[in-house]
Amino acid sequence: MRNIHWLLKAFSTIGLILTLGVSLSADAGLFGFGGDSWKEEVLLHDGQKIVVTRSQTYGGRHDPGDSPPVKDQSITFSLPGTSKSIIWNDATTEDIGHANFDILALHIKNNTPYIVASPNLCISYNKWGNPTPPYIFFKYIGKAWQQISLSEFPVEFSNINLVINTESHAKELVDYGVASVELVNQLNSSLRQAEYITIIREPISNGCPKLERIEGGWQTPGGPKLAYPIPSPQPK
């Protein structure tokens, strides 16, 4: 009887461990998964090169079994010929559940920096108005970043000059210390979408369905309710 009792207790313990494992996996987006930081060499439109520091942490909302997405990210740099440090941040928001953007390019004109970013996945595209071409533009004005329109973005800026898929390449970027312009181009070369090769200015479809924000998530207009649900906030 003592052996049977011990076996039942053991099975109960194993079941509890498995249940906890499933629970932790399902809620993995509620926990942090560390982060990475590295430097990239950025080729500006006038041929100048600057070195920027990029950082990202992992977490945010994701499905069980998937790697955690980028939760928060930043890019820090100094204007050429100055010691003025500028930082651009992209933090998780509840309506998206992870970072809003993929950062594509940094450009500078007359000591004014510009950032080109692309919404990260379809919920972010909808949040940011389904832009076409699929970019969001930012300009550093005064002491703050402000969103600007495509028409306000200088026409001489055309090259993508930052590593795009940083989730996949983070380890090698950290190992390199400073990613050269050549390495940046090499890491981006597998992305064949037109908007990732050069900064385009013509309308282009992003392939995302139109969604509308509703309480607790998103849905396709007239479609199934909560087609793209967002879970309620959980205790941290």
What is the pLDDT at residue 126? 94
Amino acid at 1: M
74 in a domain, yes or no?
Answer: yes
- Position 54 scores a pLDDT of 98
Considering its fold, how many domains does the chain have in total? 1
- Domain holding 74, by residue range, is 35-219
How many Cα neighbours within 13 Å face the side chain of 118? 25
In a domain, 174, yes or no: yes
Asked if residue 4 belongs to a domain, the reply is no
pLDDT of residue 228: 61
41-64 core/surface letters (b: 16 or more CB in 10 A; e: else): bbbbeeeeebebbbebbbbbbbee
Give a yes or no: residue 224 inside a domain. Answer: no
Comparing CA positions, the residue from 117, 126, 116 lying closest to residue 208 is 126
92 occurs within a structural domain:
yes
Domain membership of residue 226 (yes or no) is no
Asked if 125 and 206 count as a contact pair (C-beta separation under 8 A), the reply is yes
Q: How far apart are CA 236 and CA 233, in angstroms?
A: 9
In the prediction, which pLDDT does 231 show? 53
Question: 3-class SS at 45?
Answer: coil
pLDDT in tens for each of the 236 residues of the chain? Answer: 434 344 334 333 333 333 333 333 333 333 446 899 999 999 999 999 999 999 999 987 777 777 888 999 999 999 999 988 999 999 999 889 899 999 999 999 999 999 999 999 999 999 999 999 999 999 999 999 999 999 999 999 999 999 999 999 999 999 998 999 999 999 999 999 999 999 999 999 888 988 988 887 888 887 776 556 655 444 43
pTM reported for the whole predicted model? 0.80
Would residue 6 count as lying in a domain?
no
Residue 2 covered by a domain: no
pLDDT at residue 28 in the model? 36
The secondary structure element, H or E, covering residue 47 is none
pLDDT of residue 139: 98
Neighbour tally for 106: CB within 10 Å: 23
Q: Are the C-beta atoms of residues 196 and 189 closer than 8 Å to each other?
A: no
At residue 134's C-alpha, the angle toward residues 155 and 86, to 5°, is 65
